[in-house]
Amino acid sequence: TLEENKRLASEVAARGEAVQGLRQDIASLVASLPPDPRNAPVAVRAARFEVKGDTLAYNVVLSRERAGANPFGGVMQLVVTGASGRADDKVTLAPIPVSVGLYDTVRGSLPLPQGFRPRQTTIHVLDKVGGRLMGQRVINVG
């Protein structure tokens, strides 16, 4: 049992070191992303959107230049511009809770109205639903 505990403790330590290395690698990658031109408290560093049927899959990288000990807690709201039938339309999707320390990646998917074809998404980072704008970026849907 003692030998097994030593082996397990050694494995846990090795995995902890590996995780720390990966965190440093990710922080370096985030730092190399293009800066958010708005110089907002929460920067939208990169985003990718994909339409899958009547849903919008998203992958957004957020960061904070002056991240303190406490993470920023707020919401991300996507406003999607596109075509619905013959007319251009804007759809505001449900808010997504976010917690951003130095960086955070927000992934998921949200439903779109049936037949809606998105072209562009405006990412709003707010301190709360309907609250103050803390970051924003416009990205084409592709």
What are the tens digits of pLDDT across the range 37-52? 888 899 999 999 999 9
- Residue environment code for 55-94, b if the CB has 16+ CB neighbours within 10 A, otherwise e: ebebebbbbbeeeeeeebebbbbbebbbebeeeeeebebe
Q: What is the structure's pLDDT at 97?
A: 97
- Average pLDDT, integer, range 117-123: 94
Binned at pLDDT 50, 70 and 90, residue 22 comes out as confident
Give the model confidence (pLDDT) of 54-100 as tens digits: 999 999 999 988 777 789 999 999 999 998 876 788 999 999 999 99
